[in-house]
Amino acid sequence: VEGRPAVAGGIADGLQRARQGGVAATGEVLVGAAAAQILEASRRQSADLLVLERGSVAHQVTGHAECAVLLTPETASKKDAST
């Protein structure tokens, strides 16, 4: 993804791990208000499950999602960066 290689790389890594585990998964890099973009994409794709890291965006999404939402703990790399 132009201008966002770290984001695209993280998505690609997560998708690869999911597929290796036998999970059919898709991912996109979208620009704009995160919660609104996630909700719109999940509706457009008729998502069965959203997997989000805990935080303010996840809080906004869980209140409006039309599918199940799985919240994961904050990643170690983010914890390290905030200290």
For the chain, how far is it from start to end, CA to CA, in angstroms? 29
pLDDT digits (tens, 9 = 90+) for 46-82: 999 999 999 999 999 999 999 999 999 987 555 555 5
Q: Can you tell me the distance from the alpha carbon of 23 to that of 45, in angstroms, rounded to the nearest whole number?
A: 16
Q: Answer whether 50's CB lies under 8 Å from 43's CB.
A: no
Q: Can you tell me the distance from the alpha carbon of 74 to that of 83, in angstroms, rounded to the nearest whole number?
A: 13
Q: Which residues contact 66 (CB under 8 A, 6 or more apart)?
A: 42, 43
Q: Can you tell me the distance from the alpha carbon of 64 to that of 25, in angstroms, rounded to the nearest whole number?
A: 21
- Rounded to two decimals, the pTM is 0.73
pLDDT digits (tens, 9 = 90+) for 19-37: 999 988 888 888 899 999 9
